[in-house]
């Protein structure tokens, strides 16, 4: 895995941004005006997702559209 962002790191970054701003998912190869989807919820990842990523159960958050 390239860069691991924790919930604490993400919260720190988000606190610097406008609280009413919408959140979208944007791949690294998109232009500034392109995005994949709106992020509508953040959920604790299930055991299968944790296993797939290679982290202990209960230690991953999934952003969903």
In order along its 65 residues, the chain shows pLDDT tens digits of 467 889 999 999 999 999 999 999 998 898 999 999 999 999 999 999 999 999 999 999 999 98
**pTM of the complete model beyond 0.85:** no
Q: What is the pLDDT of residue 2?
A: 62
3-state secondary structure of 64: strand
């Amino acid at each position: 895995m390239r860069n691991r962002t924790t919930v604490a790191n993400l919260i720190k970054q988000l606190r610097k941004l406008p609280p009413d701003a919408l959140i979208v998912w944007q791949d690294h190869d998109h232009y500034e005006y392109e995005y994949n989807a709106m992020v509508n919820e953040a959920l604790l990842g299930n055991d299968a997702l944790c296993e797939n990523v290679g982290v202990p159960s209960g230690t991953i958050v999934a952003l969903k559209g």
